[in-house]
Amino acid sequence: MQRLGKNVRMADIAEAAGVSLATVGRVLHKRGYVSAANRARIERLIQTAGYVPDKLAQGLKNRESKLIGHLVVFNPNMLFAKISLAVNTAALAQGFQVLTMTGHPNLDEEEAQVRELIGHRVDGVIITSNTRVSKALIRKLVGLKIPVVMIERTFTLPQVDRIRVDDRQGAAEAVRHIIARGHRRIGFIGLPLVHDVEKLRYRGYCDALGDAGLALDQACTCFVPEYSVAAGYQATEALSKLADPPTAVFATSDLFACGVLQALHQQGRRVPEDLALVGYDDTLSALLAPPITSVGLSLEAIGQHAIALILRRLGDRKAPARTVRVNTVLIDRQSVSTLA
């Protein structure tokens, strides 16, 4: 058997094994018949030589890279990491790899990241909640015939598909869960109503109060500047100082719920005995003490829909934009006490 040196090519493997290029290709791609003896010899040569197929060359030949770009935004919340895992899992099931890039506030990385993905000849781009990726950059991708799918925080653009979480229904279900246990004064912790996600979660809160005939008290509504534990802590401190404080709190992120628990600990109070608490996104709730009821997102469905939308558009570049709505699920961990 011929000894192979560095920078091994597919042709070198074929020559050393005494077979055709097509036979080596069938082994590499796990397609077609190859005798057991030839297969064993080729696989041994590949392993010994450390041969790695030239994916870029294959992509140029096949007009596809089998690579999908994923642009996310940095956040201490684990939600985007979980969505990233769901996307990767769904992509692998369809024979794709995912190149994930994370954007950070004030670094203006988005344009360079989009250029990098274009340079890698990605077959599609998924953008998760990253509104710093401008409409102009997205139009550039679309103009290059690269399918784009936006998840959660999205723009309405021609030929750009979207996955939206039913945050309004999820928030309403959470607050109705609290109301069903006898609570009538329910605090709200969330971001200002700038993006649709925040608007929908607040509307869900208002929907549940209105359906139950409860008046909205602005004193119980805490809009905070960022998703952080500290913001949840400060909001809880403010709510606790009210002359008539709430008996329950709906926090629109599990990060806020962490802050609520920290503030209560400082006050010598507990959940659910002294305050009922429900979080949102179910990223940290199961890890807290006590575990907190939270609204979970259908992560597996998000990943599967994202890849399916990419594949759909690869098959029809001119298809009209499609929006897929994903439901939420309330995960009850008994953090809402029942009032007499």
> What's this model's pTM, rounded to 2 decimal places?
0.79
* 170: pLDDT strictly greater than 90: yes
Token pair in block for residue 45:
């040569």
* 37: pLDDT strictly greater than 70: yes
Question: CA 219 to CA 246: how far, in whole Å?
Answer: 10
Residue-range domains of the chain with CATH: 10-53 (no CATH), 62-165+299-327 (3.40.50.2300), 167-296 (3.40.50.2300)
pLDDT of residue 29: 73
> CA angle, corner 63, sides to 320 and 23, nearest 5?
135
Token pair in block for residue 277:
């608490």
Q: List pLDDT tens digits, range 113-137.
A: 999 999 889 999 999 998 889 999 9
Share of the chain above pLDDT 90, in %: 72
**Longest CA–CA separation in the chain, Å:** 87
Token pair in block for residue 213:
């005939």
- Enclosing H/E stretch for 119: helix 110-119
Token pair in block for residue 338:
């029942």
Query: What is the average pLDDT score of the chain?
Result: 91
Closest CA to 176 of 274, 271, 293: 293
pLDDT (mean) for 77-103: 92
DSSP-derived pairing of the beta strands 276-280 and 293-297 = parallel
Question: CA 297 to CA 163: how far, in whole Å?
Answer: 12
* 151: pLDDT strictly greater than 50: yes
Q: Which is more confidently placed, 16 or 243?
A: 243
* 112: pLDDT strictly greater than 50: yes
Q: List pLDDT tens digits, range 39-84.
A: 998 888 888 877 766 554 555 445 567 999 999 988 777 888 999 9
To the nearest 10°, report the CA torsion of 110, 111, 113, 115: 160
Q: How many CA atoms lie within 13 A of 286 on its CB side?
A: 8
Q: List pLDDT tens digits, range 273-329.
A: 999 999 999 999 999 999 999 999 999 999 999 999 999 999 998 899 999 999 999
Work out the pLDDT band at 1, boundaries 50, 70, 90: very low
